[in-house]
Structures are given as structure tokens and as C-alpha cells.
């Protein structure tokens, strides 16, 4: 926590808003299984809601229901690590195009 930048601390507050808590609950109800696990054919209950496009404090992205994906804890930490390592994450949609 102490290593977070002031900007990160600022957007971390977004996770404590009532709107986020509701969005998160709605997302998990809509998509109860981990989105990354299901791409590789395994079924894992999701317990984390992730932003597909990193919001970096942008409230429009943060609160956009279309920008959310349900993840299990292990996919979530893997995903975050990759992001922090600065590698670009390319995902493909059902139509085969990167999203
Ligand atoms: Zn998963």
C-alpha cells in the first residue's frame, strides 16, 4: 500500500464507491465463471471483476459495464503481473480480432 503512487491511491478510492460495489456484483451475477479460464475450456468460479482496458483512474472506463470481465483469483493475479511488467496483453474477441 505504501508503495502506491498518489495517482494510484486516488483511483483506488473508486473501488470503495457504492456504484462500483453494485457494478461488481452485477458483473459476477451476469458472468459467474472466470472469463480467461473459460477461454481455455476450464470452468472456474470468478471472484474478481477486472477492467478489460486499464482505467488508470479514468472514471468513464472504470464505471463502464462493457469494460468489465469476471476473473478467478489466480487469473487476476497473473493478469496484473503481466500488466505491471509492462507487457502488452492482446486479447481476441469471439470474431477473432484483437479487442
Ligand atoms: Zn481463471
Each domain of the chain, given as residue ranges in start order, spans 6-84
pTM of structure:
0.73
In the chain, DSSP assigns E strands to 48-51, 68-71
Expressed in angstroms and rounded, the spacing between residue 6 Cα and the centre of ligand 1 is: 30
Q: Are 46 and 34 in contact (CB under 8 A)?
A: yes
User: Tens digits of per-residue pLDDT, 49-90?
Assistant: 999 998 988 999 999 999 999 999 999 988 777 666 655 566
User: Tens digits of per-residue pLDDT, 13-48?
Assistant: 999 999 999 999 999 999 999 999 999 999 999 999
pLDDT at 14: 94
Expressed in angstroms and rounded, the spacing between residue 84 Cα and the centre of ligand 1 is: 18
Amino acid at each position: 500500500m505504501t508503495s502506491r503512487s498518489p495517482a494510484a491511491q486516488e483511483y483506488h478510492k473508486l473501488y470503495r464507491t457504492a456504484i462500483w460495489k453494485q457494478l461488481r456484483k452485477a458483473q459476477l451475477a451476469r458472468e459467474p465463471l472466470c472469463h480467461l479460464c473459460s477461454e481455455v475450456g476450464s470452468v472456474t468460479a470468478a471472484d474478481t471483476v477486472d477492467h478489460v482496458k486499464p482505467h488508470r483512474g479514468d472514471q468513464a472506463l472504470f464505471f463502464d459495464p462493457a469494460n468489465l470481465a469476471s476473473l478467478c483469483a489466480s487469473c487476476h493475479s497473473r493478469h496484473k503481473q503481466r500488466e505491471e511488467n509492462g507487457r502488452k496483453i492482446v486479447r481476441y474477441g469471439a470474431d477473432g480480432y484483437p479487442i
